[in-house]
Structure 1
Amino acid sequence: MEEKETKQQLYLVMGGRVTDPRELEFQDPESLHVAGVYGDYDRAVEAWRGNAQRTVDDAEMKYVIVHLHKLLDPEA
């Protein structure tokens, strides 16, 4: 039986203050909060949700999940 090799998937969770809550331009990119890099999407969503809920009352704070594996290997 042949095993299919799966490529590693990495997810970055980060957030910070944005210039416009409807956009994704950060006011001060150097001060972004990096919540972490995760090896599976479920853990990344959990980290994103925890940080987003902690800052829910601040409309200018936004957290995102970045699919690092898509940036590292765009043809995959």
Structure 2
Amino acid sequence: MSKDKKIPVKKQLLHLVVGGEVEAGEEIVFKDLNAVELVGLYPNYATAHAAWKHKAQMTVDNAEMRYFVVHLHRLLNPEDDE
């Protein structure tokens, strides 16, 4: 293999999963920011979605508990279309 060929690097699309109890209404307002749970940082949507789903299913009986997937890659690179 020559030095000219580059090995393609898989693009990392960071996602953050967070959750907590929210107030009633249309807007997302956490009741207590100190109690917001940072579930984790994930390298792609599929793993973030799996973590979100797991946490959401654990709290299904609490209608005020909500979890979210934040697309950090869109905030870090807004010009990126992916």
Letter in 2 for 1:51: K
Q: Which has the larger radius of gyration?
A: 2
Distance, in Å, in 1 between the alignment partners of 2:52 and 2:26 is 18
Answer yes or no: is the 8 Å Cα contact 1:21–1:59 preserved in 2: no
Is residue 11 from structure 1 mapped to residue 15 from structure 2 by the alignment?
A: yes
Moved segments of 4+, more than 4 Å: 1-6
Structure 2: distance between partners of 1:21 and 1:65 = 20
Cα deviation for residue 74 of structure 1 reads: 1.1
1:46–1:21 distance in 2 versus 1, CA, 3 Å:
farther
Task: Report the alpha carbon displacement of residue 5 of structure 1 after superposing the two structures with TM.
Answer: 5.6
Q: How far, CA to CA, are the matches of 1:50 and 1:64 in structure 2? A: 12
RMSD: 1.9
Equivalent residues, number: 76
The Cα offsets for residues 45-72 of structure 1, whole Å up to 9 and x where unpaired, read as 1100000000000000000000001111
Which 5+ residue runs of structure 2 have no aligned equivalent?
Answer: none
Structure 1 position 75, deviation (Å): 1.5
Q: Over residues 20-60 of structure 1, what are the superposed CA-to-partner deviations in whole Å (9 max), with x where a residue is unaligned?
A: 16542111122211110000111101100000000000000
Question: Relative to 1, partners in 2 of residues 1:21 and 1:34: Cα closer, same or farther, differing over 3 Å?
Answer: farther
Over the matched positions of the two proteins, sequence identity in percent amounts to 45
TM-score normalised according to structure 2 size: 0.80
- Runs of 5+ unmatched residues, structure 1: none
Match of 1:67 in 2: 71
Normalising by structure 1, we get a TM-score of 0.85
